[in-house]
Amino acid sequence: MNNSDFKEFYPQLDQKGYTQSECTTTLTRKVGGELTADPILEDGSNCYWYNNWITKLGNKHDTYADYIEKLNDSLNGGF
């Protein structure tokens, strides 16, 4: 998201003087039921939700990129 997108989609925050960088958070991961500030690795190996996807739901051959793509499809009304 660039600055013009931020101003378009979040005009109230922009009017209050917030910047996009102040509103952006890093990806977090869940460890033992708690969210940590540790970033998720590129391969998703330390991502709680991805690990559940490949182990408990039987999607063992999906990569982290496949998981993100399917998650986005689902959120956008796909599947």
How many separate domains does the chain show?
1
Query: Within a domain: residue 73?
Result: yes
Query: Within a domain: residue 18?
Result: no
Query: Within a domain: residue 50?
Result: yes
Q: Which residue has the higher pLDDT, 9 or 57?
A: 9
Q: Which residue has the higher pLDDT, 79 or 47?
A: 47
E strand or H helix at 24: none
Query: Within a domain: residue 56?
Result: yes
Domain housing 79:
40-79
Tell me what the mean pLDDT of segment 52-65 comes to: 77
Burial of 30 (0-12, 13-18, 19+ CB in 10 A): middle
Model confidence over 6-56: pLDDT tens digits? 888 888 988 998 888 777 766 565 666 666 666 777 877 777 777 777 777
Query: Within a domain: residue 75?
Result: yes
Query: Within a domain: residue 44?
Result: yes
Which pLDDT score, from 0 to 100, does residue 79 have? 55
Is the pLDDT confidence value at 78 over 70? no
CA 59/CA 53 separation, integer angstroms: 6
